Structure 1
Amino acid sequence: MDGAELAYDTALSTLLAVLVYVLVKVSLDAIRQWRARISVLIVGSGPVGLTAALVAVRSGKVLKLTVLDERYRTALLCRPQQIALDPRSVRFLLRLGVDFDNMEGCWRGEHFFTKVGVFQEHLLSILEQKRQKVEIGVHLGTKFSEEYLRRIPGGAWPKVIIIADGSCGDSCSVLGISSDYIVESCHAYGANATIERLDQRQVPTPEIKAHNLYFDLSAYGVDALKEPRNPTQPTAKPGFHLKIYGTFRNRYMALACTAADTKMVRFLRHTANSSIMKNIFHQSFNAYKTDIEPRLNDLTLHHMQCSRKLFEIMLSHRRVSAAYIEGDNVAVTVEGEAARVLNFDTGCGVNLGMRGLESLGTFIYKTATALDQNDVFEALSAKIQHSKQVAETFRQTGLASTLFE
């Protein structure tokens, strides 16, 4: 055998060895990823927390799932507030196995409206059905605290912790995550009102929207029709936008307008007369309510509470929305109103929380199959970027899509 043949055989043998090594490594990595399973802890069993639980189960990478909530089942499921699920949220939930046909509520187009308690009970029933595939523990009446963490045996900490305990929760502080928020304007002004009438039924109803509203404030010296116009300034979207939502018993109203320096807006932002806004909501409700519900009159007006004046609509989102606890090798993500919240209730707060969950399945998969800390950090970085994008998108266009259109 001459030198050329020897070199050829050596090169071929080396190539075959490399190919075998690559094939074995790829196969072992594929098997490792396929078999990878982790433990996940979710703090909060509200709509976002329970939806996060379904996302975790659907990821196929969860061996043990634990859901905690300091509220007991009765307090959790009797909540009368109504939630509105837009088409995007509906499609997301359908992929998770939510059966809207077997849930109390109503449709308008592709939007679905139901009560918070009904929605939570349905998600709990789905989780109950998943126990055959995943070890699931739902512990209601159990508070997430430093004492709870101390009771976890060494080495048994969950790989992923999802915080979804709402805007008033303190679970992030238990884990040492900063409580700082970034507060940004949504370029709009708004006001809210609530009406509780115990003689009405707790029945979910579709939202009612009205646009381009003006109010007769001439009695207070404000005439919208004589508003001076500045030709050098771009024309703002005219008038106010109204949304009426909630059940017949618990009615809510949101009134908003794009930020504009008009005489009427200035007056309603700075007036000290609280009866003006109450009168606006009173007249608006009677003008746009459904035909089958009673009007508000002077005798029932005391059932309504509302903002004293227009205020700037602000979105607060957590400066740190994900973290890594190095000593225990735990990845933490913050979701729902624990991550971002409006100072203005439009009835779409759950939808804002659902947006954040759209990247949760990928985050869990990448964390479960990570080879080292760098892979976990990449998963955390992607989750943080998505959380920021959710906040920025809503700040720019959220009110337009949920209230102004």
Structure 2
Amino acid sequence: MGPTEAQLARVALEAAAVLVAALLVVAALKAASEGLRRRRAGAWVVVVGAGPVGLSAALAALRSGKARGLALVEARPRAALLARPQQVALQPRSLRFLRRLGLDVDNLEGCWEQERFFTRLGVFQEHLLSLLERHRRRLPLRICLGTKFSEDFLKKNLSSNWPNIVIIADGSCGESSTILGISPEYTVESCNAYGANAAIERPDQRQVPTPEIRAHGLYFDLSAYGMDMSNMRKGSSTPGFHLKIYGTFRNRYLALACPASDSKVVRFLRHTLNSTIMKNIFHQSFNAYKMDIEPRVNELTLHRIQCSHRLFEIMLSHRRVTAALLERDNVVVTIEGEAARVLNFDTGCGVNLGLRGLESTEELIYKVATAIDQHDIFEALAAKIQHSKQVAEDFKQNGLFAAMFE
């Protein structure tokens, strides 16, 4: 007598259960194996440039947990880096990013205003460098200051095993990307605004961080230069100019900007051949809006003002190639900071734009380090390129407004 239908069904069910259990075991083993592979995966990272963006990029690489070793190369010696007097203004978003990298703002020389932190560039870089040096004991770390980047340096500091990642942050005048054979071409786009910059150096003043000063809706009487100012304000469609004063008392900087327009005053200031007009505008503006405790600019100190001769169109230049795979060397390259995007107008907030680009660095390193094949590499590069484009697009839409017009 053969098996009944119920017995056959029970046998089939038991076989199916065994098959499912076997598949689950295989999947679990595969997942465990993949998890182990990902945990053990790592990449050798080379960072070119030890400015604020380069140092932050090195810290981001370490925070990714996938850097087996790291080399940092910078042409300037340590003393030159730490002596930089310019002031950096860190915005709330930048501060959140930097704190994740270990930045201890509470123990950094500087001052606060409206959730922004102001400090000297040299002080900021020294702090980042000290954070980086703390990692020497747990992984191979080479900090090569006063060393010029070259193909020979790269070959000596790359791992013989895939993967290798090079982060270029050597500034707008850097040549590292060209050495690697990456196209130096930029896309140049208008920010729909006009601006001018000025700098005042006063050796007798203090070199301490100072909150910035902003003034909005400014109009200038240019009748002394032949400009007809009658009824200029009444019914005017232009919002006037925006002024920012920033930097330390010793190195004072001024930025003057206005939205793009074809108003009579803007046309006059864009095309004037009289170089003293902008100097007088900055002279009067500084004295009107400076801090009460700092000295005025007078006829004896007027020569210390260095400024743009006229208004110019504010442009953002960003690289067409910001990430690439060098197949001949099996090296992934990403370009950051002013090496990737630069403004022809100084707002005192340039470091923030560079830090925005670094927000996807940890993800790139993780994806490259754990990649199985070249398809995974290209996906990681595509995501990095898209983020870089979005940073430039966001700045064109909102960056200048936030830096100058708010």
| Separation (CA, whole Å) in 2 of partners of 1:157 and 1:75 | 35
Alignment partner of 1:126: what SS?
A: helix
State the alpha-carbon separation in 2 of the partners of residues 315 and 34 from structure 1. Answer: 40
Please tell me whether residue 26 in structure 1 is matched to residue 31 in structure 2: yes
CA distance in 2, matches of 1:37, 1:164: 22
Instruction: Quote how far apart the aligned CAs of 1:219 are.
Output: 1.7
The separation in 1 between residues aligned to 2:40 and 2:155, in whole angstroms, is: 29
Alignment of 1:51-66 (within 5 A): 51-66=56-71
1:130 aligns to what SS in structure 2? coil
Change (3 A) 1:20 1:224: farther
The residue that corresponds to 1:336 in the other structure is 337
How far is 1:349 from its partner?
0.6
Deviation at 1:141, TM superposition (A): 1.1
CA contact under 8 A between 1:317 and 1:339: conserved in structure 2?
A: yes
TM-superposed CA distance for 1:12, in Å, is: 2.8
> Does the CA-based 8 Å contact 2:191-2:316 persist in structure 1?
yes
How far did residue 224 of structure 1 move? 4.7
Please name the residue that 1:251 is paired with: 252
Cα distance in 2 for partners of 1:154, 1:369 equals 16
Return the alpha-carbon distance in structure 1 between the equivalents of residues 165 and 282 of structure 2.
45
Give, in angstroms, the shift of residue 10 of structure 1.
Answer: 3.6
Q: Which deviates more from structure 2 when the two are superposed, residues 257-266 or residues 136-145? A: 136-145
Q: Structure 1 length as normaliser, TM-score?
A: 0.95
Match of 1:288 in 2: 289
1:274 aligns with 2:279: no
Which residue pairs with 1:306 in the alignment? 307
Among 40, 44, 51, the alignment partner of 1:39 is 44
Map 1:54-93 to 2 at 5 A.
Answer: 54-93=59-98
Change in CA separation of 1:230 and 1:366 when aligned onto 2, cut-off 3 Å: same
SS at 1:298's partner residue? coil
What one-letter code is carried by the residue in structure 2 that aligns with 1:21? Answer: V
Residue 163 of structure 2 contacts residue 369 of structure 2 at CA under 8 Å; is this kept in 1? no
CA distance, structure 2, for counterparts of residue 157 and residue 270 of structure 1: 55
Letter in 1 for 2:63: R
CA distance in 2, matches of 1:33, 1:315: 39
CA distance in 2, matches of 1:366, 1:210: 45
1:4 is displaced (CA, Å) by 4.3
SS of alignment partner, residue 46 of structure 2: strand
Please report how far the alpha carbon of residue 370 of structure 1 lies from its aligned counterpart in structure 2 after TM superposition.
Answer: 1.1
Is residue 190 of structure 2 the alignment partner of residue 185 of structure 1?
yes
CA distance in 2, matches of 1:265, 1:245: 24
Deviation at 1:142? 1.2
Higher mean displacement: 363-372 or 145-154: 145-154
**Offset at 1:13?**
2.8
What's the counterpart of residue 367 of structure 1? 368
Shift of 1:65: 1.1
Q: Does 2:130 match 1:100?
A: no
Contact 2:190 2:314 in 1 (8 A): yes
Q: For residue 197 of structure 2, what is the amino acid of its counterpart?
A: N
Secondary structure of 2:134 counterpart: helix
1:389 equivalent in structure 2: 390
SS of residue paired to 2:27: helix
- Does the 8 A contact of 2:44 with 2:158 survive in 1? no
Whole-angstrom CA distance in 2 between matches of 1:100 and 1:5: 68
* 2:281 counterpart SS class: helix
Kindly provide the amino acid, as one letter, of the partner of residue 393 in structure 2.
E
**1:43 and 1:161 in contact (8 A); partners too:** yes
State the alpha-carbon separation in 1 of the partners of residues 20 and 292 from structure 2. 80
CA distance in 1 between counterparts of 2:47 and 2:133 reads 16
Percent of aligned pairs with the same amino acid: 65
Secondary structure of 1:132 counterpart: coil
Q: Tell me by how many angstroms 1:399 deviates.
A: 0.9
Comparing 178-187 and 367-376, the one that deviates more: 367-376
TM-score by length of 2: 0.95
SS at match of 1:257: strand
Tell me, in whole angstroms, the C-alpha distance in 1 between the residues paired with 2:61 and 2:155: 24
Q: Is contact 2:71-2:157 (8 Å) kept?
A: no
Shift of 1:229: 8.6
TM-superposed CA distance for 1:7, in Å, is 3.8
CA separation of 1:153 and 1:77: change in aligned 2, threshold 3 A:
closer
Amino acid of the structure 2 residue aligned with 1:171: S
CA RMSD of superposed structures (Å): 1.8
Structure 1 residues 70, 21: closer, same or farther in 2, change over 3 A?
same
Whichever residue aligns with residue 89 of structure 2, its letter is A
Partner residue of 1:349? 350
Q: Would you say 1:112 and 2:112 are equivalent positions? A: no
Map of 2:53 onto structure 1: 48
| Within-5 A mapping of 1:12-23 | 12-23=17-28
Contact kept, 8 Å, 2:85 with 2:122, in 1: the verdict is yes
- 1:202-221 mapped onto 2 (5 Å cutoff): 202-221=207-226
Q: In the aligned structure 2, how far is the partner of 1:148 from the partner of 1:157?
A: 18
The answer as to whether partners of 1:242 and 1:403 remain within 8 angstroms in 2 is yes
Which letter maps to 1:284?
A: S
Amino acid at match of 1:380: L
Deviations 1:118-139 (A, max 9, x none): 0000011111222233322111
**Paired residue for 1:241?**
242
Q: Is the 8 A contact 1:160 1:364 kept in 2?
A: yes
- Post-superposition shift, 1:220? 2.3
Rounded Cα–Cα distance in structure 2 between residues aligned with 1:62 and 1:348: 30
For residue 401 of structure 2, what is the aligned residue in structure 1? Answer: 400
Cα drift, residue 222 of structure 1:
2.5
The code of the aligned residue for 1:13 comes to: V
Matched, 1:196 2:201: yes
- Partner SS for 2:136: helix
Measured after TM superposition, the shift of residue 388 of structure 1 is: 0.4
Describe the superposition over 1:71-102 as per-residue Cα deviations: whole angstroms up to 9, x where unpaired: 11011111111110011111111111100111
Deviations 1:261-293 (A, max 9, x none): 100001000000010000000000001111111
Q: Check whether the contact 1:223–1:264 (CA below 8 A) recurs between aligned residues.
A: no
For the 8 Å contact 1:81–1:115, the answer to whether it is kept is: yes
The answer for the alignment partner of 1:128 in structure 2 is 133
- Deviation of 1:306 after TM superposition, in Å, equals 0.4
The number of equivalent residue pairs is: 401
Partner of 2:325, secondary structure, is strand
